[in-house]
Amino acid sequence: MTASAVERGGLRNHPAYWAFVVHRVSGVGLALFLPLHFLVLGLMLEPATADAFFRWTEQPLVKLAETVLVVLLAVHLAGGLRLLALEFLPWSDRQKTRIAVAFGFALAAGLLFVLAAW
């Protein structure tokens, strides 16, 4: 790629760049969720707190957050599988196809969860 293409942001329009961004953002989102998950697990030790928490999780906004979490997990998994495929499989011109297929599977998994949850 020429210097002028780099200056125009040509590298940032490549599907591999966006796959990298989505993988990093989903990883950060999951890393931020993990301490909250451990906090909730600690709260489950007392039955009264657990009952109150389970009632709270019935709210629509919490259901939406669960859906976002599952989509983040699916996208992060697909991005990791994409990286493994690019690392261990022979390098080819099908990189864009691999990216699209990986994220297609991730989106399908997230949408299946949404359909099952509602």
112 pLDDT band, cuts 50/70/90, is: confident
Which residues, 6 or more positions from 67, have their beta carbon under 8 angstroms from its beta carbon? 110, 113, 114, 117
pLDDT in tens, 26-56: 899 999 999 999 998 888 888 888 889 999 9
pLDDT in tens, 66-83: 888 888 888 888 888 878
What is the structure's pLDDT at 44?
Answer: 87
- The total of structural domains in the chain comes to 1
Radius of gyration of the chain, Cα coordinates, nearest whole angstrom: 19
Is residue 2 a part of any domain in this protein? no
86 pLDDT band, cuts 50/70/90, is: confident
Is residue 10 a part of any domain in this protein? no
Question: 3-class SS at 80?
Answer: helix
Is residue 4 a part of any domain in this protein? no
Is residue 67 a part of any domain in this protein? yes
Is residue 100 a part of any domain in this protein? yes
d(CA 64, CA 117): 10
Give the domain range for residue 73.
15-117
**How high does pLDDT run on average in the chain?**
81
The answer to whether 70 and 26 are in contact (CB under 8 A) is: no
Is residue 7 a part of any domain in this protein? no
pLDDT in tens, 93-107: 677 677 778 778 877
What is the structure's pLDDT at 4?
Answer: 53
Is residue 8 a part of any domain in this protein? no
Which CATH number fits the domain that encloses residue 32?
Answer: 1.20.1300.10
Q: What does 25-75 look like in DSSP terms, one character per residue?
A: HHHHHHHHHHHHHHHHHHHTTSHHHHHHHHHHTTSHHHHHHHHHHHHHHHH
What average pLDDT does this structure show over 11-22? 78
